[in-house]
Amino acid sequence: MKKILVANRGEIALRVMKSCRKMGIKTVAIFSEADANAPFVKFADESVCVGPPPSAQSYLLGDKIIEICKELEVDGIHPGYGFLSENAEFTKKVTAAGITFIGPSPEAMQLMGSKLAAKAAVKSYGIPMVPGIDEAITDIPLALKKSKEIGYPILIKASAGGGGRGMRIVANPEEIVEQMDMAVSEAISAFGDGAVFIERYVGSPRHIEIQILADQHGNILHLFERECSIQRRHQKVIEEAPSAVLTPELREAMGKAACDVARACDYYGAGTVEFLYENGEFFFLEMNTRLQVEHPVSEMISGVDLVEQQIKVARGEKLAFTQEDLKINGHALEVRVYAEDPKNNFLPDIGTLEVYKRPEGDGVRVDDGFEEGMEIPIYYDPMIAKLVVWGEDRATAIRKMTKAIEDFDIVGIQTTMSFCKYAINHEAFVSGDFDTHFVKHYFSDTSVLDVNDKDMLEVAALMNNYFLSNNEETANYAPSDEKSNWENRSN
């Protein structure tokens, strides 16, 4: 593989290209008119404008991207995440055109893209699942009967998609009809698929995911877990590896289960298997058939370049290491730096990066796609950067992250870094005693803030109101990102 086109933009495009350059592979960038001067465009060996700023007129034009590949004699396409990364039809077209898709097969994408199909596929492996119904349900009397058997509260979930859309908590039988109608309507609107199912509501879960890696020769291994429980609107905000809660025995059991999920769909490439964890039990949630936003924390504790491995697997190479070769080294934290104003209900903040100075130091990594003087485009996800740190242990990583946040100098727009600093220094996070309801439980609690810091008090209160009143996914990382550009988010 001598030339790879990266069918994405911003920080992930640049991150993929860096691994390609390290491997001696030339890169092609595609870009919209809004991204003409972006760092990833300058970094690539070749670049082609694919259209105007809206992603539906540029980054989502699969046929046009394939034509560019043919014209430039591209060997492979790396989709990053979001946009076309989990589009099975695009993957089929890429393969039919004689180009290597750097990712799993379209069959694996389709199977794991449906929560119901995924449940059916993994059943024979004895993987723990939340008690519930493993088939689509529309009949209200049957829903009432099954819900009584499961026990309230129950959760109605859309089979397709994610991000909290098509998901409804039901506390009692009287709510079933209304909540099912709303869940089906949301699912149809968001995913074009109104199939929903019912399962027990796990009240205080932690969100723990396992990074897996598999080649095309049947070799499957995992690179341990990531804890992604700090969320707002079902959107991950802070990620860490490893989790503060898993014992070695649980880690081994969850790692084996994740590898079995990959076996169930004949998976190859890098992927993530997500689980809910509560009171010593874990339950299969879903599989993401792509690279995750938070993959850097797994790279930092394992020493494995996941993009490099994706490319090698796509070339047909066998994995050069085994599960026994992998060890957890230290602790890593990642926070996402968004161009949003926490003092204005966390709305996107449009402007120019008048000052943009990245933090530096041993164990500090910044994955970004901006430079000082650049305008923040309004058309895409508002993430400016992923700030990642590594420490010898969790306490050291928290201290390093606090300092890195303080050293990250951004002037000209408002960012979410005050939120990140508040969260990682909260006593619940520091102790490791938290779940996915962290925001609901603690963001009205200002006891850990300096009482003289009025700005931070205001930030905490506004965060609490905003996070609890919104349920929209930031969808540059969802299969259909057109619903989540800034214009839609601010309406």
For CA atoms 406, 407, 408, 410, give the dihedral sign. Answer: positive
Is 290 annotated as catalytic?
yes
Catalytic-labelled residue, pool 168, 232, 290, 489: 290
Nearest to 345 by CA among 490, 447, 179, 155: 490
Q: How far is Cα 232 from Cα 393, in angstroms, rounded to an integer?
A: 26
Q: How far is Cα 57 from Cα 60, in angstroms, rounded to an integer?
A: 7
The answer to whether the CB of 294 falls within 8 A of the CB of 236 is yes
Q: How far is Cα 446 from Cα 426, in angstroms, rounded to an integer?
A: 9
Neighbours of 48 (CB within 10 A): 18
Task: Show the tokens assigned to 422.
Answer: 């508040």
Neighbours of 137 (CB within 10 A): 18
* 470 secondary structure, DSSP code: -
Place of tokens 């999920």: 261
Cα of 200 vs its chain's centroid, Å: 24
Q: Is the peptide bond before 348 cis (omega within 30 degrees of 0)?
A: no
Q: How far is Cα 260 from Cα 197, in angstroms, rounded to an integer?
A: 23
Classify burial at 208, counting beta carbons within 10 Å of its beta carbon; exposed 0-12, middle 13-18, buried 19 or more: buried
Place of tokens 């920080």: 11
Task: Show the tokens assigned to 423.
Answer: 């969260």
Distances from the Cα of 389 to the Cαs of 237, 296, 301, 307, 361, in angstroms? Answer: 15, 9, 10, 19, 9
Nearest to 101 by CA among 113, 81, 83, 85: 85
For CA atoms 103, 303, 431, 128, give the dihedral sign. Answer: positive
* H-run or E-run covering 468: helix 454-469
Distances from the Cα of 320 to the Cαs of 78, 213, 218, 259, 266, in angstroms? Answer: 21, 11, 13, 17, 19
Task: Show the tokens assigned to 342.
Answer: 């926490």
Task: Show the tokens assigned to 143.
Answer: 């829903």
Nearest to 112 by CA among 274, 336, 298: 274
DSSP string, 310-355: HHHHHTTPPPSS-GGG----SEEEEEEEESEEGGGTTEE---B-SE
Query: Catalytic amino acids?
Result: 290
